[in-house]
Amino acid sequence: MSQASTTHQRIVLASRPTGAPTPDNFRLEQVTLPELADGQILLKTLFLSLDPYMRGRMSDAPSYAAPVEIGEVMTGGAVSRVERSMHPKFQEGDLVVGATGWQSHTVSDGRNVIPIPSGLPSPSMALGVLGMPGMTAYMGLMEIGQPKAGETLVVAAASGAVGSVVGQVAKIKGLRVVGVAGGPEKCKYVVNELGFDACVDHKRDDFAEQLAQACDKGIDIYYENVGGKVFDAVVPLLNAKARIPLCGLIASYNEHQAPSGPDRLPQLQRTLLTKRVRIQGFIVFDDFSGRQPEFISAMAPWVRDGKVKFREDVVDGLENAPQAFIGLLEGRNFGKLVVRVAQD
């Protein structure tokens, strides 16, 4: 097939959602790629990562990153294979990872595209435990959480891409780890497979009481990536000088108006003051840029030795990415959600 005839599929943002995204907010297109120029590479997407932060990029509200424009390819990290290269640093067949978006192919100048470590059971792991979610878990826990053996850590979305890694690293560091997950199957997996000390089902009517029983000595670190009622249940259990790394608030991503109910801000402020709690939000590649080699050197041996386990939820077909993403925001995935765009 000649360069000029290379076509690819892409999913663009068709409209901005109000509340939860719907399939109508996305559009599948087929377009022709431009010919390759000197210094460029043609990438074929193998795996696309779906992550909660993408909901924020669908909005034009002020944030830490520019929004996806209407008609623009949806943003996202992907593992790709170099199909053709006119770049001296890349060879045909190389496996790379980069933020190439929701599309089957892309032409790149090689910036922000890096080789994937060799020997991975699946190259998609570069989007999960050895990628952005794993680094988010590790840096947030180690730098902001500052774990100490014997402390109690609680992590929400404990079976997910970030939470599962947070809890396992905390166990390696000698902490008591309590996970929060949705449903008995996920809770069973978190305890029996990942080795957490306990896991509480946030769908239970008595969730707050169950969490308090599981954390009878209070909470020293709460790794926050959910918000909502989980955060409400955690606040009264925080110990003096507790730390809260904050990397996400998926429970409120689809909200477009102020939540109903009593104003909990005064109680939160009082807790933060009287217990001297530290809460710090972070964006991993902004706040810890340049520290990826440090993360890989720590995480790769744990993964290789089975000390950190990782589960993927794989959806086949780029065309199914919108529905899978909608399910992610509703908590329907079980593990790191990736789309297999093409067979390797």
Tens digit of pLDDT for each residue in 113-167? 999 877 788 899 999 999 999 999 999 999 999 999 999 999 999 999 999 999 9
Output the pLDDT for position 2: 44
C-beta of residue 183 within 8 angstroms of C-beta of residue 207: no
- Give 270's pLDDT tier (boundaries 50, 70, 90): confident
C-beta of residue 303 within 8 angstroms of C-beta of residue 310: yes
CA distance 221 to 219: 6
Helix axes of 163-172 and 132-139: crossing angle, nearest 10 degrees: 50
pTM of model > 0.75: yes
Instruction: Note the pLDDT tens digit of each residue in 215-245.
Output: 999 999 999 998 888 999 999 999 999 999 9
Output the pLDDT for position 3: 47
- Average pLDDT of the chain is 91
- Give 290's pLDDT tier (boundaries 50, 70, 90): confident
Query: Residue 233: left (phi > 0), alpha (psi -120 to 50), or beta?
Result: alpha
**77 pLDDT exceeds 90?**
yes
- Give 257's pLDDT tier (boundaries 50, 70, 90): low
Give the residue with greater pLDDT, 71 vs 112.
71
CA distance 133 to 142: 14
Q: Which of 5-14, 46-55, 140-149 has the lowest mean pLDDT?
A: 5-14
Calculated CA dihedral for residues 13, 282, 172, 52, nearest 10 degrees: -20
